[in-house]
Chains A and B, each alone.
Chain A
Amino acid sequence: MADVPVPSANSAVKTAQRRPSVFLSIPLIDNERIRTFLAPAWRQYVAAFVVVCGVSGIGYPLRPWVNYQTLALIYLLAEVMLALVVGRWATLLAAVLSAAVWDYLFVPPIYSFHIEDIYDGTMVITYWVVALVVGELTARLRTYQKAELQAQLLSESEKLGRTLLNSVSHEFRTPISAIVGAAGNLRAQGELSPAQERLIGEIESAGTRLNRIVQSLLSAARMQGGQLQPRLDWCEVREVINASLRESAELLNGHPIETNIPAGPHLAKMDFFLMQQAMSNLIANAAIHTPPETPIEVSARFEGKELLLQVSDRGPGLPAGELEHVFDLFHRLPNSKPGGVGLGLAIVKGFVEAQGGRVAAGNAANGGAVFNIWMPAADSPELPEEIL
């Protein structure tokens, strides 16, 4: 299985290469070398000047064979090409310059800005308008192109990140499922000696532990990659707490839990699953870092426009100077017990903040550690009349 690394990640790369774009297929705009060369604004103005001088310089000796109307079209062509590679203002400069030079050198009477013929006058004005419109349109085109390119890169890298995470998750969970499932199934095979029974228990609990670690690593990776997408919906706080107690039950290790939630509905807009994870991480954290049998208190109440969820223990509390760092990724208390990698509290913070809440740690007057989660609870839900 190990030699089949991440099959589905390749398809995301393929999608990144596909998808043609109208804007990206215009070759000149996309020429990296020209673009880099013309990045400074002064070079663009110089380019505008050089182009106009160039066209004029070539056109001047050709006057006997090329009439000045045709030359206007050549100027216009040069203007369009220029607009593809320089900015709006350099295009405008070229338009003004070329109109003036053309008028002075080519339109009769030559060597004068004076225009006698009404047709020539119309032509100068039309030339101007066309040059300006072209300049504006290409500038807009370029802005679109830039935005599209950026959006595409961003969405592709996000998609790739997500696909990678999903396949890593799949690659870990498949063998873990096989281990846990097979161990459980062994038990169903018939009479077992106490030693066999115990060994199966070991396999199962190791598998479950491994699964928890993988889950934490994936959560942290999702968080760091900005890929948490909380689905906020009304949740009953009591239910969230019950679910997190159920989830952390096997880590409680004999710690009694005291819940303290005032009567009545406590509804807040949260992502149930993320909140459940955050709360069970706090509860598990308290159970790990306090002496056996000491109670852990879980409480919830509204405070102003916020919902406060609190987990407090009767352990030694947090050392001074640690309060700001306990939520950092991979941070561990100086003399904490082996096991754990410093992900639990970082995940709490990441999950809560992704939903617009905040976290804080402190010490209670009686010495235990207190972890607080505040969730925004400014709106109250619309409820059916029967309840009110």
Chain B
Amino acid sequence: MNNATSTPDLSALVIDDEPQIQRLLATVLEANRYRVTTANSGREGLSTISKQRHDLIILDLGLPDITGLAVLKQIREWTQAPVVILTVQDSEAEKIEALDCGADDYVTKPFSSGELLARLRAAVRRADRGKAEEPLLRFGNITVNLAARLVTRENLAVKLTSTEYALLRLFVQHAGNVLTHKQVLREVWGPEHEQKTQYLRVYVQRLRDKLEPNPNSPVYFLTESGIGYRFSAS
């Protein structure tokens, strides 16, 4: 799963008005066996999407004609293809809004190509996964058996409360993907609790205490500052 060589070429659409970024993305993506189409503006992007199917869309939020968010909302009216947004630091509110509007992930400029490719793979995987659920997941010395509802660490069962388990399950099912606070709270505690970030803070810390090799320097349950969390199995 570490590169695209074993899978057929994926078609990627890049919507960005900066020629320099377009060229860079095209070089990186083509080197990793994506077929790349570029669009210079939100409108051009939308018209390209309406004519042609894409496996993946990379969308810059700072477009000259329509806001990236408006483009995103319109994309989501037509297609569920994974969308990864390009954005800058200190635009947390915008990132959250985009993720809650259906973006799959984001990459903050300046980004490394490794980071970008990892996000794209995770986003494509999320879109492919659909119904098929892997019953057994391993990360480090931890196994999560979703079928048996069993979590072990170094082959010893880890005791989790039902809420902790629900949270862990959500995280491992979305391995590699960012989840906003609101998304997690809605899934685990229900829509009426989606503002109660404190629940999430406390429970993530509990999962870290039980499952991280070093809870103070987490490698699995990663904080996305001001946005949410990302579970990383690698």
Contacts and interface: CB of A to CB of B under 8 A. Distances in A.
Interface of A: 1, 7-8, 166, 169-170, 173-182, 184-185, 188, 207-208, 211, 215, 218-219, 222, 231, 233-236, 238-239, 242-243, 245, 259, 265, 267, 271-273, 276, 381-384, 386-387
13 contacts: A8-B64, A169-B88, A173-B88, A180-B112, A184-B112, A188-B113, A215-B90, A239-B205, A239-B223, A272-B226, A276-B225, A384-B189, A386-B163
A273 B225 contact: yes
B62 A185 contact: no
Contacts of A8: 64
A8 B204 CA distance: 41
Interface of B: 18, 20-21, 24, 27-28, 31, 62, 64, 88-90, 92-93, 109-114, 161, 163, 181, 189, 196-199, 201-202, 204-205, 216-218, 223, 225-226
A215 to B, nearest CB: 6
Given A176-B109, A184-B112, 4 more contacts: A173-B110, A215-B89, A236-B202, A242-B216
Contact of A265 (B90, B196, B205): B205
B21 A174 contact: yes
Contact of B201 (A170, A173, A188, A234): A234
Contact of B109 (A177, A218, A243, A381): A177
Contacts of B205: 236, 238-239, 265
A267 B21 contact: no
B216 to A, nearest CB: 6
A219 B89 CA distance: 10
Nearest to A241: B216
A120 B205 CA distance: 86
B226 to A, nearest CB: 4
A184 B161 CA distance: 44
Contact of A384 (B89, B90, B114, B163): B163
A231 B113 contact: no
A217 B163 CA distance: 43
A184 B202 CA distance: 37
Contacts of B88: 169-170, 173
B109 A174 contact: yes
A175 B20 contact: yes
Given A242-B218, A243-B225, A211 B110 contact: yes
B18 A7 contact: no
B3 to A, nearest CB: 11
B207 to A, nearest CB: 12
A182 B24 contact: yes
A382 B40 CA distance: 48
A207 B202 contact: no
Nearest to B201: A236
A267 B216 contact: no
Contacts of B92: 231, 273
A176 B31 contact: no
A15 to B, nearest CB: 14
Nearest to A219: B90
Contacts of A243: 223, 225
A347 B18 CA distance: 30
Given A170-B88, A174-B18, A242-B216, A185 B201 contact: no
Nearest to A244: B225
Contacts of A169: 88
Which of A166, A208, A276, A387 is packed against the most chain B CB atoms within 10 Å? Answer: A387
A234 B110 contact: no
A242 B225 CA distance: 11
A381 B198 contact: yes
Closest 9 pairs (CB-CB, A-B): A234-B198, A381-B198, A273-B226, A177-B110, A180-B110, A236-B201, A177-B109, A272-B226, A178-B20
A8 B68 CA distance: 14
Contacts of B24: 177-178, 181-182, 185
B23 to A, nearest CB: 8
Given A174-B20, A185-B28, A387-B202, A271 B226 contact: yes
Contacts of A207: 110
Contacts of A185: 24, 27-28, 31, 113
B110 A239 contact: no
